[in-house]
Amino acid sequence: MTAPGPVVRRALPDAEYLPRVTVPERTARGTALRDQHPPERVARWRETEGRTDPVAILERQASSRIPELVPLRYSRMLESPFAFFRGAAAIMAADVSAAESPGLRAQLCGDAHLMNFGLFATPERTLVFGINDFDETLPGPLEWDVKRLAASVEVAGRDLGFSANRRRAATVATIAAYRRAMLEFAEMRNIDVWYARLPGDALAERLEQLSDKVSTKEVRKRVRRALERDHLKAFNRLIEDHDGVPRFIADPPVLVPAGDLLEGEQRDRYVEVVQDFLTQYRTGLSPDRRRLLESYQFVDMARKVVGVGSVGTRAWVVLFMGRDAGDPLLLQLKEAQPSVLAPYAGASVHDSEGRRVVEGQRLTQAAGDHMLGHYRLRAWDGLVHDFYVRQLWDGKASIDLTRLTAKGLTAYGDSCGWTLARAHARSGDRIAIAAWLGEDDAFEQAMADFAVEYADTNEADHARLQAAADEGRIQVAAD
């Protein structure tokens, strides 16, 4: 048998998506970038005098959010430095954008902290571990995601009371997992990278190998809960009977039925808005999933507060019923505002922020939601709000970090590092990235140094927000 000849690349209309250079050329590019931008320089961090006031960044974000919910967001962020970190993606985006970069880009999660990874069900109803939040997704320098992940391990470790040595071990393990995974992905066939998944039980199996019974118990519990978290579970928790008609429970400010929020012209336009949503959303689905949606009937809608960083953005839950009272479908509409990365990485190329989130999720997530879609609302005040749509609670669960030991945090971080590398490998030049990362431990050691320095800054920013609350600059409400 003769050896295959060189690959001939024809000038197709979509040729921009095809590799233009050989593997050796891509490797050489990454190696040259490592010489020009070594990890220890890329990971350098020192707070400067000209740094933007972090509270001012949060106040700018608040200007586009529901005013009565902004104090609740501040309240949640003040609970701890880690809670603050979760809500401070915009602050960190401004910080990391000012650092040296090798210019290797990928589709970023945009907010790759530990709590934005978790378990979710695939369309085949198996559980995988992966990224579960894409509100800030946008193409950008890959190290921005890595820095966010590394810093979150250090900040979480401090909240958990772990020693400096144990925190560093967890951070190094997390970023080493990212680097090693990227080296492995660089050797894979393109299609195998897209098939790569981390089964939901893999994290528990890793903990069992470490003889960490405490963390293993927590992970196994979350796996069981993920399998139980379906539409019926959400229905029983969020819905009550109103004269034979299912309606959302009123639990303000966390859950407020639409009818309790609307009055006058808004109430008159409610049916029109719902019909517009159904038309837009249905049109964007594939024909088979459109047929599935059409088998359900709209019943009710409510505003639901979610997360820490997302508090104040518009988020709704929508109830549909199918063949009978035992066949509910619950969808979540979550507002998609411009990514916090956009001022530094460039605006989205998509025609709406909802589509930006949907396309970013499809590009980077291991398995997509059957009902994932997007919607644009032209509100009664004339403003336009973009949303993305997904199923509520469909096999989704997060690990409770407070129940992990130091070994558990290390194993969990390892899984997050692998997962982030898989996302970047699907969307970036994984061969050049692997060459830049290198085969020694310089990258993870540099990122661990960065994590310590940035965690100090995060604690100072948390104190600044508390001072702003004490001085009356911002209003804080009880959850």
Q: Where are the domains of the chain?
A: 21-227+398-470, 231-391
Under DSSP, the state recorded for 212 is -
Closest CA to 156 of 382, 467, 451: 451
The whole-number pLDDT of residue 10 equals 40
Q: Is the pLDDT of residue 1 over 50?
A: no
The whole-number pLDDT of residue 16 equals 45
Tens of pLDDT, residues 91-116: 999 999 999 999 999 999 999 999 99
Coil, strand or helix at 391: strand
Q: What is the mean pLDDT of the chain?
A: 88
Which stretches of 172-274 are assigned E, i.e. beta strand?
239-242, 245-248, 255-257
Tens of pLDDT, residues 242-278: 888 899 999 988 899 988 887 765 666 777 788 888 8
Mean predicted confidence (pLDDT) in 192-197 = 92
Name the more confident of 438 and 129: 438
8 Å CB contact between 235 and 328: yes
Mean predicted confidence (pLDDT) in 194-223 = 78
Mean predicted confidence (pLDDT) in 380-406 = 82
Tens of pLDDT, residues 136-158: 999 999 999 999 999 999 999 99
pTM value? 0.89
Give the whole-angstrom CA distance, residue 142 versus residue 136: 14
Q: Is the pLDDT of residue 38 over 70?
A: yes
The whole-number pLDDT of residue 394 equals 66
Give the whole-angstrom CA distance, residue 448 versus residue 151: 8
